[in-house]
Amino acid sequence: MSERKKPIYLGRLNKDQKTYKFTADPFDFVNIVDSKIFFENGPHKKFKFLANISGEYIESPEEPDRLCGIITKNMQTYEEAIKIADDFPVKKQEWLMNIFSGIKEQGSILYQNDEYLIIPDYTWNGVNIDDIHILCFFKQYRGKYIRCLRELTHEHIGLLQKAQQDVFRVIKEKYNLDSNRFRTYIHYPPTVYILHLHFSLLNNCTLHAHVDKSHLLENVIRNLMCDSDYYKKNMLALLS
């Protein structure tokens, strides 16, 4: 049996405004004073807790995250990708269905219409603009969901462009940030098989925007303009 990975928690020490990373389960900490869940949707949870902890649990916020281990490259065909999408557990997408159906996170929605929904990523605290991370989830298109990059064709270009412009408009209105400060990208493979766009600042070089799984929307659109079946015909390299 493989060892269970402990989750990573972000928090502050007393009145220190820096965000620290705690790599131990908070319930392993001693002398917990208070713990309260203030956000929950499926497997996603946020909670606050007060506890006395020892230094071994603290990782310096200045210490950069690093990829460790051997990276291997696999070439994946369209058929292999669709098989993965077909087999993806419905349970793992329940949290997103909760948002679409109006059960969860309705107060967090920035904008929605019949085609897509714009919402901050739940991991962003909504305060530190440098870490801003906005998502645009696409609703059903002609009666079914576009599940991932592989299912995009030339007919989706207008939808993608319209969604991007609406996200930029919302970001400008709410956060007073210009579109030329952002990158727009699609993860492949995705963490959830319902197509969505990511928006983050160009100077935010976090792992979720790395080239190994992030495809810039501008490049995606150009590829589709050249060949409507680009993402069906071509094998994509995956790093693991």
Which DSSP string do the residues of 28-91 spell out, in sequence order?
GSEEEEEEEEEEEETTEEEEEEEEE--GGGEE-TTSPP---S---EEEE-HHHHHHHHHHS-GG
Clarify whether residues 202 and 165 are in a common domain: yes
Clarify whether residues 187 and 210 are in a common domain: yes
Residue pLDDT, tens place only, 9-50? 556 555 555 555 555 555 455 555 556 655 565 555 655 656
Residue 225 CA: distances (Å) to CA of 116, 154, 213, 220, 233: 22, 6, 21, 9, 14
Clarify whether residues 54 and 113 are in a common domain: no
Q: How confident is the model at residue 172 (pLDDT cuts 50, 70, 90)?
A: very high
**What does the pLDDT read at residue 57?**
45
Q: Is residue 64 part of a domain?
A: no
What distance in Å separates the CA atoms of residue 28 and residue 150, rounded to the nearest whole number?
Answer: 42
Which residue carries 């309260």 as its tokens? Answer: 36
DSSP string, 152-205: --GGGHHHHHHHHHHHHHHHHHHH---GGGEEEEEESS-SSSS-EEEEEETT--
Q: Is residue 222 part of a domain?
A: yes
Do 138 and 194 form a contact (C-beta atoms < 8 A)? yes
Averaged pLDDT of the chain = 81
Clarify whether residues 227 and 146 are in a common domain: yes
What distance in Å separates the CA atoms of residue 74 and residue 84, rounded to the nearest whole number?
Answer: 15
Query: Of the candidates 91, 105, 109, 3, which has an alpha carbon nearest to the alpha carbon of residue 46?
Result: 105
**What does the pLDDT read at residue 118?**
98
Q: Is residue 13 part of a domain?
A: yes
pLDDT at 110 over 70: yes
Clarify whether residues 160 and 94 are in a common domain: yes
Clarify whether residues 112 and 216 are in a common domain: yes
**What does the pLDDT read at residue 76?**
85
Do 60 and 20 form a contact (C-beta atoms < 8 A)? yes
**What does the pLDDT read at residue 68?**
44
Do 38 and 63 form a contact (C-beta atoms < 8 A)? no
Residue 28 is part of which domain span? 9-59
What distance in Å separates the CA atoms of residue 27 and residue 29, rounded to the nearest whole number?
Answer: 5
Question: Angle of helix 217-226 relative to helix 157-175, nearest 10 degrees?
Answer: 160
Q: How confident is the model at residue 64 (pLDDT cuts 50, 70, 90)?
A: very low
pLDDT at 70 over 60: no
Look up the CATH number of the domain holding residue 132.
3.30.428.10
**What does the pLDDT read at residue 23?**
56
Q: Is residue 41 part of a domain?
A: yes
Q: How confident is the model at residue 3 (pLDDT cuts 50, 70, 90)?
A: very low
Averaged pLDDT, 219-232:
97
Active site residues: 196
Clarify whether residues 161 and 208 are in a common domain: yes
Clarify whether residues 130 and 16 are in a common domain: no
Whether the bond between 64 and the residue before it is cis, its omega within 30 degrees of 0, is no
Residue pLDDT, tens place only, 177-224? 999 999 999 999 999 999 999 999 998 877 567 777 899 999 999 999
Clarify whether residues 53 and 137 are in a common domain: no
90 or 240: which leads in pLDDT: 90
Q: Is residue 4 part of a domain?
A: no
What distance in Å separates the CA atoms of residue 106 and residue 90, rounded to the nearest whole number?
Answer: 21
Q: Is residue 30 part of a domain?
A: yes
Total structural domains in the chain?
Answer: 2
Q: How confident is the model at residue 240 (pLDDT cuts 50, 70, 90)?
A: low
Clarify whether residues 38 and 156 are in a common domain: no
Q: What percent of the chain stands above pLDDT 70?
A: 68
**What does the pLDDT read at residue 163?**
98
Indicate the SS3 state at residue 119. Answer: strand
Clarify whether residues 136 and 231 are in a common domain: yes
Q: Is residue 141 part of a domain?
A: yes
Residue 19 CA: distances (Å) to CA of 30, 165, 202, 208, 215: 20, 32, 21, 18, 29
Clarify whether residues 231 and 201 are in a common domain: yes
- Torsion angles phi and psi, residue 72, rounded to 5: -115, 150
Write the CB contacts of 131 (distance below 8 Å, at least 6 apart in sequence).
124, 125, 204, 206
Q: Is residue 114 part of a domain?
A: yes
**What does the pLDDT read at residue 18?**
53
